[in-house]
Structure 1
Amino acid sequence: MSNSETYRVRMSGISKRYNAIQTLDDVSLVLRPGEVLGLVGDNGAGKSTLSKVLSGAVVPDAGTIEIDGMPVTFTSPAEARAARVEMVYQDLSLCDTVDVAGNLFLGREPRRRIAGISFLDKKRMHEQTRQMLDRLGIVIADTRLKVENLSGGQRQSIAIGRAASFEPSVLIMDEPTAALAVAEVEAVLDLIRAVSARGVSVILITHRLQDLFLVCDRIQVMYEGRNVAERLIGETNIEDVVNLIVGRKFNARSATNAYRDGAPA
């Protein structure tokens, strides 16, 4: 089987330096069609920077990216979007004073012409929004509700739904369940399952390790800008993942304390 048939995404040798700080150091990542990959690591591990490289928000100093076997170079999110790569950021970037349908279609609203004059086709916009929400299993009673009146989970679902409406082949989610109530977390995880079941490849960045075991097929652990481990989700557990994330730091701290206490090497 060729690489183009096996991998939706292949990133190799990705490096990025900001002045004296090496944020990414020869990082690789692969992602298969319909796969959900958990990308985890401590703060400063480089996972957000790596995802921004793939979404076009950060230009790497070195490395290559292939989408469906074709080499690509992204210098902006628009270029990544053209290659069907979407990212949902933690701040969601929703317009609170605009309704649900308006947020889903922001910047690409359907229009109709009457007597040569272009008007916003609100009826079609709300009909298409309802179809889109139903298809993804997003429960919103009224598409005319302003986003500021929605719960945190509903807002997160709208942000994911908007990204999914662009028909991406790759969807990156940065902490989608942070600060959500338990019931809302489950709704967002259901949405991730629904998106991946449609063949979309998903990268999930999260500190909620329990979520990994509910939706992910595989995890990749980063530490100080480098890959340190990969695990199939069925071959690991939370304790193992925690040790991979903080193990080096914990071991180094323990060794320092041992010397301070006069313990033998």
Structure 2
Amino acid sequence: MLTVGLDIGSVMTKVVLMRDDIWQSFVMPTGYSPREAGEQALARLLQEHDLTRRDIDMIVGTGYGRVSLSCIDKAVTEITCHARGADYLVPGTDLVIDIGGQDSKAILTDGAGNVTNFIMNDKCAAGTGRFLQVMAAALGCEVSELAELADNVEPAQISSMCTVFAESEVISLLARGVGKDRIIAGIHRSVANRVAAMAERLGTGNSITFTGGVSKNEGVRDCLARALGKEIITVPEASLAGALGAALIAREKLNKQA
């Protein structure tokens, strides 16, 4: 049985090919066209494994761009897919915190990958990867450099949660001679505190898994752990949780049809 999960995010498109419990992935920037990114990512992964679309038993699409896809058999919300993927990566997870490019989510589960409740911030850039991107640009560095530049320093106070005002605040701090490392630490704390406050409205869970592109940022993860007072688990494949969950859901649907 071959299934595919296709997660079209605002920044990156992820595709996972699953055969039994063995899976491979491919990631590329989404760019201006979610539909084209999804089709290209799928084609690249199939080509790498000498497969065609006819070889795939089911494709499930997820992410904000899922409605634009013509190559999928079914669309499933990213909430459901992230919960299933996180549980596969970290069995027993009962709270998933996902921070992506344009939104952040806290997903409460039953500890077996099934969603029981969730809350989502998709109206404001604060607490998302976009917020970090804007702050990195104001600091003259890359988003990927943020975690390395803020290690074991006292965070500067970033009081505004509005991205526009926070950017002005960062520029003002730089003008006053505050070190970039302290500013970045303050940005990490600001993002973590906002997401932690959102998660606490659901209940903090016993096993918390951090997914999404921002899960690669150790500074945000450490600040989240302090804000919630609990260990935050992440794994190298955490940014693929949505696509992996979609592939797993495709497999489950096929098994039910059998």
TM-score (ref. length: structure 1):
0.31
- Give the helix-richer structure, 1 or 2: 2
Question: If the length of structure 2 is used for normalisation, what is the TM-score?
Answer: 0.32
Decide which structure has greater strand share: 1
